[in-house]
């Protein structure tokens, strides 16, 4: 927890520092008197005064500010103005500088956040990195039952034709397939899986989306298709979705000794491309294997060292705990436990178990996750006696900790005896492409942020997706635990988000000053102090409402996570 807090404060401080540094540098270059440069909000903890400026750190790490003579968020009267910065020559007041200089000072903060994102992405790109497949391509993985993707109408694409009526003479196909590669959605180029998710979320559920995709056929040929589909709110999702998961290659991480895969010659590092002439990824291969007929060979196509190899393998019967996902955790006194990460409603009803329960013993013995998987393989159909520790809910206020005894059954399924892992792709760019690629990624973040704001305004994106400091804390904590690259990517994304949000024409934000300066430029004089004061009051009310909304969203997410 302490590590997560330190990371959160460090990220927030960096974002605020860079933002305020933009205002500070431009103010100095425009000869505006800067009284204070603060990271964190008052009260002042410590600092140093160099020349006319007090460089300090505030006690509240929730923002920062550059205090300039003549910048009045709330208009002052003459007496207050004289007290605040009467000692400063009027020509160095912010309000008395040329309009174009004030524009530069105001815009420099958000601009520096965008520059920070470019710098971070350049660092990431220069190092080279291993990325999940979903970050570099937009392929369809497992398709949910009765989802829009499963029911989508698909035609052979006629180049340049997107009018559905022009395809009426064709016999349509139904449904997307695992392995399909999404090229465009509503004319927008799709490069990675998050682009698909975003297109569904902001496109709304009212109109059919026009999706151009490629399909690899079993004979190796590639077919270009067009699909017409309406995303839907599925299950507990708060945004419209097509009902697909990312494509995860079926990479062989380990081969179990004595099982059919070893006998068939399958090796660690192989990738299963297809099974029985069906393109598969990790979850679809597991599902297909489990349902395969007993003693009937499966015809696999394996990729090994960039070569495709046909292999026949006969699955064997094993046990499997279906409907429950476990992770190994450490318990006091150097003991191990298996914690329930996910569980279906059916299994909850059948076993009485729930998410976050910890299995401490199976048939009277302690098991690691690896030992449990071996138990599954060798004991199909067996019913296991399990001892379970149930943690307290909300520190014991809603429910105290407890222990229970229950039974779980290892269902009989077929398997070939492999462990599947995540495929990471090494990406290296030549030096000449570092900055162009960083600009491209920053621009994509900018475009996505604007599209989400547009969706919020038009109502196609639910305000429930918004989050505040708690969500940012959670995101930075998870990213830091996943590695430095993940954290840097997140900081770059947040920095771009901060740049865009700060330019919204809401009082208190930089965008409000841009709007006031624009009005001043059109009228050739500023708004009256009274109007400016009313404007600020409205802005404060809007900001407070937004804070209440995002805080409630954060609290709702926490309660959903901790209350079974």
- Report pLDDT digits (tens) over 172-218: 999 999 999 999 999 999 999 999 998 998 888 888 999 999 998 87
Block residue for tokens 């191990």: 336
Domain made up of 320-412: CATH architecture: Roll (2.30)
Question: Is 20 among the residues known to form the active site?
Answer: yes
Cα–Cα distances in angstroms (integers) from residue 65 to residues 18, 61, 466, in the given order: 11, 12, 24
pLDDT at 562: 63
Using DSSP's 3-state secondary structure scheme, residue 333 falls into coil
Q: What is the 3-state secondary structure (H, E, C) of 75-109?
A: CCCHHHHHHHHCCCCHHHCHHHCCHHHHHHHHHHH
Domain range list for the chain: 2-125+489-562, 140-246, 250-315, 320-412
CA distance linking residue 146 with residue 1, whole number of Å:
41
Closest CA to 213 of 196, 233, 234, 198: 196
Cβ contact 193:246 at 8 Å: yes
Which residues, given as ranges, of the chain have pLDDT below 50? none
Compute the Cα dihedral for 489, 495, 496, 501 and give only its sign: positive
Q: How far apart are the first and last CA of the chain?
A: 22
Residue 203's H or E segment, with its range, is helix 193-203
The tokens of 480 are what?
Answer: 């830091």
Q: Is 271 left (phi over 0), alpha (psi -120 to 50) or beta?
A: beta
> For the chain, how many helices (H) and strands (E)?
14, 25
- Which superfamily does 140-246 belong to? PDZ domain (2.30.42.10)
Q: What is the CA radius of gyration of the chain?
A: 29
Of the residues 20, 72, 376, 437, only one is catalytic, namely: 20
Closest CA to 197 of 147, 161, 246: 246
Closest CA to 20 of 87, 96, 91, 116: 116
Would you say the CATH fold of 320-412 matches that of 140-246?
yes
Domain made up of 250-315: CATH architecture: Roll (2.30)
Strand pairing category for 298-304 and 278-279: unpaired
pLDDT at 224: 96
* pTM, two decimal places: 0.81
pLDDT at 539: 75
């Amino acid at each position: 927890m302490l590590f997560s807090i330190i990371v959160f404060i460090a990220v927030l401080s960096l974002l605020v520092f860079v933002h305020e540094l933009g205002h500070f540098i431009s103010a100095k270059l425009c000869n505006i008197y800067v009284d204070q440069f603060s990271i964190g909000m008052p009260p002042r903890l410590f600092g140093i005064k160099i020349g006319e400026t007090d460089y300090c750190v505030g006690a509240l790490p929730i923002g920062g500010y550059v205090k300039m003579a003549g910048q009045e968020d709330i208009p002052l009267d003459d007496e207050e103005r004289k007290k605040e910065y009467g000692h400063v020559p009027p020509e160095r007041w912010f309000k008395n500088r040329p309009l174009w200089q004030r524009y530069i000072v105001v815009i420099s903060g958000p601009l520096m956040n965008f520059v920070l994102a470019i710098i971070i992405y350049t660092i990431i790109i220069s190092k080279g990195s291993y990325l999940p497949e979903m970050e570099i391509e937009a392929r369809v993985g497992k398709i949910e039952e009765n989802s829009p993707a499963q029911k989508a109408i698909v035609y052979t694409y006629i180049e340049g034709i997107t009018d559905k009526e022009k395809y009426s003479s064709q016999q349509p196909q139904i449904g997307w397939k695992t392995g399909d590669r999404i090229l465009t959605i509503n004319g927008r180029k799709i490069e990675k899986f998050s682009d698909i998710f975003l297109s569904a979320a902001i496109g709304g559920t009212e109109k059919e989306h026009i999706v151009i995709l490629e399909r690899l056929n079993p004979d190796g040929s590639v077919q270009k298709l067009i699909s017409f589909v309406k995303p839907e709110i599925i299950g507990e999702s708060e945004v419209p979705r097509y009902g697909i998961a990312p494509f995860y290659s079926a990479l062989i991480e380990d081969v179990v000794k004595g099982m059919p895969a070893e006998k068939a010659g399958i090796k660690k590092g192989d990738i299963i491309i297809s099974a029985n002439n069906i393109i598969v990824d990790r979850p679809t291969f597991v599902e297909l294997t489990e349902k395969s007929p007993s003693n009937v060979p499966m015809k696999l196509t394996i990729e090994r060292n960039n070569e495709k190899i046909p292999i026949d393998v006969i699955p064997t019967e094993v046990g499997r705990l279906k409907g429950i996902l476990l992770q190994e955790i450490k318990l006091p006194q150097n003991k191990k436990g298996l914690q329930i990460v996910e569980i279906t409603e059916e299994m909850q009803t059948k076993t009485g178990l729930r998410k976050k329960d910890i299995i401490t013993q199976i048939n009277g013995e302690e098991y690691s996750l690896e030992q449990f998987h071996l138990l599954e393989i060798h004991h199909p159909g067996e019913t296991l006696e399990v001892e379970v520790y149930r943690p307290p809910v909300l520190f014991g206020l809603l429910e105290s900790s407890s222990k229970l005894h229950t039974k779980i059954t290892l269902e009989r399924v077929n398997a070939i005896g492999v462990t599947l892992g995540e495929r990471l792709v090494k990406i290296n760019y030549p030096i000449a492409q570092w900055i162009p690629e960083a600009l491209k990624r920053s621009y994509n973040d900018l475009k996505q942020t604007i599209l989400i704001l547009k969706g919020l305004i038009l109502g196609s994106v639910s305000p429930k997706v918004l989050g505040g400091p708690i969500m940012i804390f959670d995101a930075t904590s998870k990213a830091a635990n996943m590695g430095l690259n993940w954290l840097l990517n997140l900081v770059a994304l947040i920095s771009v988000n901060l740049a865009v949000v700060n330019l919204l024409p809401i009082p208190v934000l930089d965008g409000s000053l841009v709007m006031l300066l624009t009005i001043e430029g059109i009228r050739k004089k500023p708004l009256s102090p009274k109007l400016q004061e009313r404007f600020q009051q409205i802005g404060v009310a809007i900001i407070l409402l937004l804070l209440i909304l995002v805080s409630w969203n954060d609290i709702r997410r926490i309660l959903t996570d901790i209350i079974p």
